[in-house]
Structure 1
Amino acid sequence: MSRDDLWWHRPFQMFQTNLREIDAGLDVHRVLDYLEEFGAGAWLLSVGGIVANHPSDLEFQTRNPALAERPSGDLVGDAVAAAGERGVRVLARMDFSKVDHRRAERHPEWCFTGADGTQQVYNGLTSVCPSGDYYQRHLFAVVDEVLDRYPVDGFFFNWMSFNEVDYSGVHRGTCHCLPCQRAFAEFAPGVALPTGPDSDTYPVWKRFAAGVLDDLTARVRDHVSRRRPEAPLILGDRADIVFHEANNAVGRTLWHHRTAEHVSAARTFRPHVPVLTNAVGFVDMPYRLAGEDPRHFAQFLVQAISRGANPSTYIMGTPDDVTYECLDVASEITRFHRDNPETYRALRPAARVVLVRPDPLRRASPRTEEATEEFRGLYTALVETHVPFDVLPESRIPDVEEQGRLGAYGLIVLPDLGPLAPKAVGVLDRFVSGGGGVLGTGSSGFEGDGSQLEGAPVLRRTAVRDTVESVRSMHLRRPGRDGHGPRGDLPVLGAFHVVEPVADADTDLPVLSRAPYGPPEKCHGHLPLDLHGVLRRAQGRGRITVMPWTPGRAYRQAGLGGLRDVFVDEVSRTAEGPVRIETDLPEQVEVVLGTSASGGVVHLVNHSGDVPQGFRSPLPVEGRYLRVPWWPEQPSRALRADTALVGDSRVELPRIGLFEVLTA
């Protein structure tokens, strides 16, 4: 069976009913009526694991007692049969993360065990460890029983992870069960098993845990594929469909671009692998009766489809039980995706800039947070200045070169990544020699006192200023436009790496020394230093630019447009070829580029409704124009407005509300 023959390689739309035990008597026909009207052609149904919604004969599965309400005694069988008659696909949601008290007592070797020897118990259920036999062996028996009885169209495994954090958000530490102890000792001989994020060896544990899950995912995928090739596994990077849950959470600071970031990272790494964004219709698990704000929920789905994911909506219970206001807009966006299959078939990223996302497995927690802030600041800067970009996880840089796709880009941005992996260094050196540009900020590419990149404009690094006090009052002097006088100084926030340039480096943004900043009578004495905030150099047919400070973190903290602009100026200067859209759209409208079966696709996502901890109704934008300089043919139609676009070298845009989609 070829890839094109597999149903999930075509655009699809899903709806998830996350069922409680009491929902086993649901009317499958009423649910299917709702799904079809909603716009969904796939139903993610709770099948097995913690509770089996079918008459399981396995000793380690618990039949849902509420199945007695059904004449058949089999919710899964009824749902699969009724859905099959309508052409709706049923995917099996499984949850192997927990077992009941009886089984936990009988099989303590299955259980997640803390450093103090205690098991992790929540609401009477005990968390299970992925290193133990319940996951490693018995999971496959459960999958086989389902496949033996029902022609399900796919599987999703919920919370298949090392459950360090429970439903209350409490960090319970790393697992110290005997299987974990044995496997970790083999993975990292002589390394102490950490107790949690505060342990020095915690990053090693995270790599170990990721490896266990990757291996298990690959084995499950192969097992399902052998049994039923037309049934995909929805999970992580090694699955048939990459899963991302778009959700809100009480107490978590909102990152407005979280959904787009995660989808882009997956699609840039493997554009041929489908992504599913399952958007949560309620605010948080403890507040599952409170529906998500419709304007917030709309961003989940719009960001997802703009970056090439398939949309899904997730509710607790059944459609008869919920009154979530967000479901109307969810249905509207879902139907739009359904009704434009050629636009979304094989929709893949097509920007000319790559923004590398820091790999949290390579860094201790504080360093991860700093790199993330730099990444998000640069992400925001590119969105606001209409520089389309694709997100690429740091560890996947070599993969994209091996796939032969790196040459499509004109620039790779490295946001304060610290020392780079040797394979990544080789990839970047070849990319620059072949004509591409690399722009690194902060610590990117520095190891010890030297730069890792061949031909970098830095001879050596002599010092690091990375505390608040060490950079406090330090400034960068911007030259005026056309070289006429200074244009206004910029603050250095975050970190500054003192470097010595090579002889032929082109330097800019001279540094002004720190000086007293209080009381006012003493606020003077900034001296020009022989240091610079930008160093550039040609290498081979390409260019390398180093900004040895953290403009992204500074922009996140201070919000000064000048911090954003000096970074984006270097983006345009360093990249091979044009990378910026010609447009008069306001900063709040993001431009996302892709190509699909229908040709070039432009998504315009309106972020004018973004507020500190949510989204409001975006302001309509009209009377604007757009041109993609490197596209031979400009977009010719707006799908949401259902109108042809006017213009030759640039097109006049229709009124833009929440989002618009342009096709060439």
Structure 2
Amino acid sequence: MSDTRWWKTFPWRMVQTNLREIDMADMDAKSYVEELKQYHATVVTLNAAGIIASYPTEVTQQKQSDYLTGDTLADILRECHKAGIRVIARCDFSKVHETLYEQHPEWAYRQSSGQPLIYNGYVQTCINGDYQQRYVYDILRELFSKYDFDGLFCNMSSTFVVDYELQVHEPCHCKNCRRLFQEQTGMEIPDSLNPKDPAFGRYMAFIGACSKKQKQRMYEVVKEINENNAINGFDYFRTECNQDVNHHAWVYDASVNARRIAGPLHDKVVDDASAVYMAFRYRHSSISRGILEIRQWQNLAYAGSTSLYLLGTLGKSADQSGIIASKKAFDFFAQHEDLFRGQQSAARVLLIEKPLMGRNDPEADGWVQVLTQLHIPFDEQKIGEVSAPLLKRYDAVILADVVSMSDTQCEMLDSFVEKGGTLIADGCSSVSDERHQARKHMGLQCLGMDKIIEKKKVRSAIFQFSDGEKEAWVSCKESGVDCIVPGDLVVTGTRRKGAKTYLRMIPDQPFGPPEICYSKEKTEIAGVYERDYGSGKSLYIPFRIAAFYYEFGYDNSYDFLKDIVCSLAGIKSIAPTLTPMCELAVTEGEAGKVIHLINLSGAFAHHTYCEPLPIRDIFIEIACGADKNMDALNGGHVIRTDKGIKLDCLHGYEAIRIY
């Protein structure tokens, strides 16, 4: 199994089995692989080295497991390869056993007090200590020279320190970190990750460079042994959908992960691991079956891959419910491998987001929710990943409160609009340059706002339609929506010549007692700026309306956003009569065009997921000529209509192929 760059064309059905050390005591390699085969897994990730070595090691800088009495790693690899299953080595170098710490206290992460971080007998290591700078590479050389693995995944390789209580700890203050940071910046390491601290930006750049350098070195060491090893972060890209006691699942989690990583060309291998267990503290109990099934269908629709993540082996997992629910997508993928080969997104709308790392972005997530509910296929990219050639794929672009933009990025989007594209921007998009310095004028010349007056904090302000201006606002007019809540921030500025504006702001007013809840004042501050620019047009909303919708889900916010997208920008839904409780994606490639439909009707009450209700008589307005064939591949039946196609019934997932 030594095919060069095997991951490029290999069907990616990943099962990550986080083996506990006791699992190696009675490991039966043949049974382990038979379970994977029943699940149609093609790739498996399993524990190999680092915190505990799951094999006899001669590198004394890692703790060898005391439970190596069952079948060996070599046995597992042999059986997997016989079954055509690729094996990724899971390594974790973030911690060492206390006995190793006692011998090498200089390896440890240190709080500003000088204390290490110890959890259940394991000590957090520092990325700039000798363990991670030197001995990690000895471990990797031994592991990959000794065993015929197909790839590497390093867990918790970030320089951020988060413990299993989900507590985020302060930056490392060990002597190595303090010395290096001082040499590179002339500054002291900040005591907390506070964006307002003057040293914060420099520290983030510092730890980012440290992490990048280490990952590159690991890549080189492993590739030197065998260039056909797939390395996470280079050859494939692992992300994760999970839950915990203070982090509930969002119904679009997997869609966002898969879409962002795969990109419109689907040219990146996505391993979006859906964690079966409830939380760190409840690793033996499964989350709701409904969300696990939804996540795998979403991974399949947006990235053409599936990925499950569990504690122990498939057969010995204490709670089988989530494993059983996830298997539907694995089975379908195995049956229709050719359908997903060479597919790319067919979306004509691009959502551009801030370059946030490890945090959700409510504004972007609000747009994800609106576009999905409107059944408008779209792609997602961070602003730094957007190029002029990429923009040629799209008719419309949405900027989700992308505050900091370089002049070059602004010029690129201005050119897109000038040549006929439509741009929707909101919040503080382009009000700062790439160095986060405030601009006096909007960076985007195509927008209807010119000079920036202020970013105005508001508490009870609303925007109201003026008499006669609602004709263009179809949904708001039909629903009787007259007032829009902007959230807590409004950008004010001057209007560019030729720009048209809608709504006017009623400033903060009393909100109690009710007898005095009114205002006699109405400002000239506009709520929407519309401007023709070259052959295209722009729409600017000077507040974070999508984030407000994401947080509260109000109808009037949705109607407002729907009108921005469909009425003013002219972006058409391809299934305008379909319930918002259905998710729709469109891809195209070697097998033809594929419409993916995912039934989300079982999701309700924030984080409850039940069996979805059947959705019947679905109309999709998509071109399907008389010379084309159509198939519904997961139990449904499709017919051609005057406007497009009709599906009789959707249960959990359907793939309609047009070829």
Q: Output the TM-score relative to the length of structure 2.
A: 0.90
Q: CA deviation at 1:473?
A: 4.9
Counterpart in the other structure of 2:349: 353
1:82 aligns with 2:79: yes
Q: Map 1:71-150 onto structure 2 (within 5 A).
A: 75-150=72-147
Which string of whole-angstrom CA distances, capped at 9 and with x for unpartnered residues, describes residues 372-430 of structure 1?
22222222111111122111123322xx43xx222101222112232323442233223
Gap change, CA 1:46 and 1:117, over 3 Å in 2: same
Q: Secondary structure at the match of 1:334?
A: helix
Q: Which of 168, 174, 181 is the aligned partner of 1:184?
A: 181
d(CA) in 1 for partners of 2:568, 2:515: 42
Partner residue in 2 for 1:13? 13
Find the residue that maps to 1:655 and give its secondary structure: strand
Native 8 Å contact 2:462 2:483 kept in 1: no
Cα 1:118–1:154, aligned 2, differ >3 Å: closer, same or farther?
A: same
CA contact (8 A) 1:242 1:266 kept: yes
Where does residue 62 of structure 2 map in the other structure? Answer: 61
1:556 maps to which residue? 550
2:362 is aligned with 1:380: no
Q: Which residue matches 1:443?
A: 428
CA distance, structure 2, for counterparts of residue 105 and residue 270 of structure 1: 50
1:251 maps to 246
Partner SS for 1:462: strand
CA distance in 1, matches of 2:136, 2:88: 17
Q: In structure 2, what is the Cα distance between the partners aligned to 1:408 and 1:118? A: 53
Separation in structure 2 between the aligned mates of residue 392 and residue 585 of structure 1, nearest angstrom: 26
2:448 aligned to 450, 454, 457, which one?
Answer: 457
Assess, with a 3 A threshold, how the Cα gap between structure 1 residues 472 and 457 changes in structure 2: closer, same or farther: closer
Distance 1:644 1:384 in 2: 22
User: Taking structure 1 as reference, are residues 312 and 598 closer, same or farther at Cα in structure 2, changes over 3 Å only?
Assistant: same
**Superposition map of 1:450-529 within 5 A:** 450-468=441-459, 471-473=460-462, 475-477=464-466, 479-481=469-471, 487-529=481-523
Give the match for residue 434 of structure 1: 419
The 1:129/1:589 distance shift into structure 2, 3 A limit, reads: same
In structure 2, C-alpha distance between the alignment counterparts of 1:224 and 1:247, rounded to whole Å:
29
Q: Taking structure 1 as reference, are residues 521 and 329 closer, same or farther at Cα in structure 2, changes over 3 Å only?
A: closer
CA distance in 1, matches of 2:55, 2:148: 14
Q: 1:589, CA displacement in angstroms?
A: 0.8
Secondary structure at the counterpart of residue 443 of structure 1: coil
The alignment partner of 1:444 has SS state of: coil
Shift of 1:23: 1.1
Aligned mates of 1:507, 1:417 — CA distance in 2: 21
- Residues 462 and 505 in structure 2, CA contact (< 8 A), matched pair in contact too: no
Bigger mean CA offset, 158-167 vs 515-524: 515-524
> Whole-Å Cα distance in 2 between the matches of residues 654 and 249 of structure 1?
38
What is the aligned counterpart of 1:293 among 288, 292, 311? Answer: 288
Q: Measure how far apart 1:110 and its partner are.
A: 2.5
2:577: which partner in 1? 584
Letter in 2 for 1:428: L
Is the contact made by 2:17 and 2:309 (CA closer than 8 Å) also made in structure 1?
A: yes
| Residues 342-395 of structure 1: per-residue CA shift (max 9 Å, x gap) | 22113333311121222236xxx9xx87xx222222221111111221111233
Residue identity matched to 1:472: A
Q: Deviations over 1:285-331 (max 9, x none)?
A: 21111122211211221221121152122221223422321111212
Task: Indicate conservation of the 8 Å contact 2:375/2:573, yes or no.
Answer: yes
Which deviates further from its counterpart, 610-619 or 130-139? 130-139
1:145 Cα shift? 1.3
- How many Å separate the matches in 1 of 2:281 and 2:627? 50
Aligned length: 642
Compared with structure 1, are the counterparts of its residues 598 and 483 closer, same or farther at alpha carbon in structure 2 (3 Å cutoff)? closer
SS at match of 2:376: coil
Q: Secondary structure at the match of 2:298?
A: helix
Q: 551-560 vs 585-594, which deviates more?
A: 551-560
- Are 2:149 and 1:152 aligned? yes
Matched, 1:405 2:411: no
Amino acid at match of 2:497: A
| Greater displacement, 160-169 / 422-431 | 422-431
- Structure 2: state its 5+ residue gaps: 433-438
Counterpart of 1:342, as a letter, is: D
Give TM-score scaled by structure 1 length.
Answer: 0.90
C-alpha deviation, 1:487, in angstroms:
5.0
> Which stretch of structure 1 is more off in the superposition, 508-517 or 164-173?
508-517
Amino acid at match of 2:21: E
Tell me the amino acid that sits aligned with residue 663 of structure 1: R
Please say if residues 21 and 67 of structure 2, whose CA atoms lie closer than 8 Å, have aligned partners that are also in contact.
yes
- Give how far 1:167 is off: 0.8
1:246-285 equivalent positions in 2, closer than 5 A: 246-268=241-263, 271-285=266-280
Answer yes or no: is the 8 Å Cα contact 1:281–1:324 preserved in 2: no
1:341 maps to a residue whose letter is E
Please name the residue that 2:383 is paired with. 394
Q: Which moved more, 1:541-550 or 1:214-223?
A: 214-223
Alignment of 1:539-618 (within 5 A): 539-572=533-566, 578-611=571-604, 612-618=606-612
Q: Does 1:315 align with 2:313?
A: no
The 1:240/1:186 distance shift into structure 2, 3 A limit, reads: farther
Alignment-derived partner of residue 417 in structure 1: 402
Assess, with a 3 A threshold, how the Cα gap between structure 1 residues 607 and 436 changes in structure 2: closer, same or farther.
same
Report how far residue 654 of structure 1 moved.
3.0
Shift of 1:269: 7.4
Can you list the C-alpha shifts for 1:150-198, whole angstroms capped at 9, x where unaligned?
21111111111124210112222111223322443455x2444222233
Q: Is the 8 A contact 2:399 2:424 kept in 1?
A: yes
Contact 1:269 / 1:396 at 8 angstroms: preserved in 2? no
Aligned equivalents of 1:441 and 1:57: distance in 2? 58
* CA deviation map 1:429-479 (0-9, x unaligned): 2322332222111111113431001232112122222242xx435545584
Call closer, same or farther: CA 1:631–1:593 in 2, change over 3 Å.
farther
* Amino acid in the other structure paired with 1:85: K
**Structure 2 CA distance for partners of 1:215 and 1:663, relative to 1, 3 Å:** farther
- Percent of counterpart pairs with the same letter? 24
- What is the rounded CA distance, in whole Å, between the counterparts of 1:514 and 1:214 in structure 2? 47
What are the Cα deviations for residues 255-284 of structure 1, in whole angstroms up to 9, with x where unaligned? 321221122111227731201122211111
Task: Mark the CA change 1:186 to 1:264 in structure 2 (over 3 Å): closer, same or farther.
Answer: farther
